[in-house]
Amino acid sequence: MAYLALLGGTPTRTESWPTWPKADENTERLLREVLFSGRWAISGMYGGRAPFERQLAEQFADYIGVGYCVPVCNGSAALVVGLQALGVEYGDEVLVPGLVWVACASAVARIGAIPILVDVEPETLCMSVEAAERMISPNTRAIMIVHLYCGMSDLDRFANLSSSSGLPILEDCSQAHGARWNGRAAGSFGQVGAFSTQDSKLLTSGEGGLTVTSDPELYSRLQQLRADGRLYQSAAPQLNYPDLEETGAVQGHNYCMSEFQAAVLLDRLRHLDEENSIRESNVSYLRRLLAEIGDVTPLQRLPQVTTATYYHLCVRINRAAFAGAPIELLRRALMAELGVFMEPIDDPLNRNRLYNPLLSPRTSDEHRPLLDPSRFVLPEADRARDECLTFPHFAFLSNRQAMDQIAEAFAKVRQHRHELESISLS
């Protein structure tokens, strides 16, 4: 008789998990307000009050503690306009972590620039400062740092690297809404901060994105880049006329966020800190349980992280203690025990099937060898791929009992590890 749920044994947890995304009557009220407001986009007519998009921009800038925010249609667009605002051009090199969601690198390639894949720190899985420094060349124009899963990039050391090299930082916070480093919000460290508000993120409108900056010049460029060269006019708006002004000082594109998305975000932003703190408290409890069990170690929380976020809780597993089972088999065994979807960590971008810059029809012969992802060597990213698993953030909006069950599932799979030897992965 098998004990493991994967082989027909009794699962460790049968209760349901919290669902995501969340909405309530207030979300509904704001959506209805947009619906009958006569304005669904910032390119619509001024209706006598600031569009939701502007209200959101003001509140989010305040929340991050920066001067300005420009909402956009998704996180990838936030990276594109962020890079362009910073002056990254065709053929320029941009340092990108070698272990992240594909959009971080493909956004760079999209504007004709060259993503330079940099290996990560084993403790946080964020870009390694030493590796980044080694990869800087005379063609480097920017450094894209990404706060990944539950970790933060070492912002003190990247700030030093930025000032010693003169390279601006684009700070991708798509997995760290509300995280704080010495009390200061993620997104306020880079010259431009970028956020995705896609369905799975800690702050979501289904699709959406946000850029932030404290530099008025960058703010003006970001606005025009995302609205076909238009920005909010400085003169008082006139009722039932557009309130965007056509400047054309920058070649922009339409990356605008709709009023519906902005309304949802305005509502959900009010819940972010509380949700982050529930997750933080549950994960602290789980960290203690896992430390007692051993062989399962959550990624390190650097001492400067004063508010940690848990887009994914990422744990590293000592596979030797699990009879050397492949990480994919452990993932399936744990999912069967717990009944929750656990995403594998991203494939390193030098061997990620979603990252194919050479397939882009516009790639020049001159750039092909530079864009080839397989030229980059990423040993720590590779090792992490074979040893790490993640839990989704909504699992930590549950209770202590669920944390007990997560810990119990690891102990159970380890105890009955020999049952896994009979399973072949197809």
| Residues binding ligand PLP (CB under 6 A) | 74-76, 100-101, 103-104, 146, 172, 174-175, 196, 198, 209
The least CB distance from residue 311 to ligand PLP, in Å, is 7
Name the residue nearer to ligand PLP (CB basis): 108 or 402. 108
Name the residue nearer to ligand PLP (CB basis): 73 or 296. 73
DSSP per position, 162-217: HHHHT--EEEE-TT-TT-EETTEETTSSSSEEEEE--TTSSS--SS-EEEEES-HH
Name the residue nearer to ligand PLP (CB basis): 150 or 420. 150
The least CB distance from residue 46 to ligand PLP, in Å, is 28
Name the residue nearer to ligand PLP (CB basis): 12 or 390. 390
The least CB distance from residue 227 to ligand PLP, in Å, is 18
**Considering only CA atoms, which of 193, 230, 188 is closest in space to residue 79?**
193
Name the residue nearer to ligand PLP (CB basis): 209 or 392. 209
How many residues can be counted in the chain?
426
Name the residue nearer to ligand PLP (CB basis): 296 or 349. 349
Please say whether the beta carbons of 371 and 300 come within 8 A.
no
Own/partner pairs for 164-169, CB < 8 Å, 24+ apart?
Answer: 165/133, 165/136, 165/140, 167/136, 167/140, 167/141, 167/142, 167/143, 168/86, 168/141, 168/142, 168/143, 168/192, 169/142, 169/143, 169/144, 169/145
The least CB distance from residue 229 to ligand PLP, in Å, is 22
* Residues contacting residue 373 through CB under 8 Å, at least 6 positions apart: 105, 117, 349, 350, 351, 352, 355, 357
97: number of Cβ within 10 Å: 32
Report strand pairing: 296-298 vs 169-172.
unpaired
Name the residue nearer to ligand PLP (CB basis): 197 or 405. 197
The least CB distance from residue 198 to ligand PLP, in Å, is 4
Q: How far apart are the first and last CA of the chain?
A: 23
- For residues 36 and 379, give the distance between their C-alpha atoms in angstroms, rounded to a whole number: 54
The least CB distance from residue 39 to ligand PLP, in Å, is 24
Name the residue nearer to ligand PLP (CB basis): 188 or 204. 204
3-state SS of 106-147 is HHHHHCCCEEEEECECCCCCCECHHHHHHHCCCCEEEEEEEC
Name the residue nearer to ligand PLP (CB basis): 89 or 199. 199
- For residues 170 and 248, give the distance between their C-alpha atoms in angstroms, rounded to a whole number: 24
The least CB distance from residue 219 to ligand PLP, in Å, is 21
DSSP β-bridge partners for residue 389: 315, 344
The least CB distance from residue 350 to ligand PLP, in Å, is 17
3-state SS class at 425: coil
> CA 314, 319, 320 angle in degrees (round to 5)?
155
3-state SS class at 69: strand
Nearest residue to ligand PLP, by Cβ distance, number only: 75
Name the residue nearer to ligand PLP (CB basis): 175 or 220. 175
- For residues 72 and 210, give the distance between their C-alpha atoms in angstroms, rounded to a whole number: 6
Backbone angles phi, psi at 316, to 5 degrees: -105, 135
Name the residue nearer to ligand PLP (CB basis): 153 or 198. 198
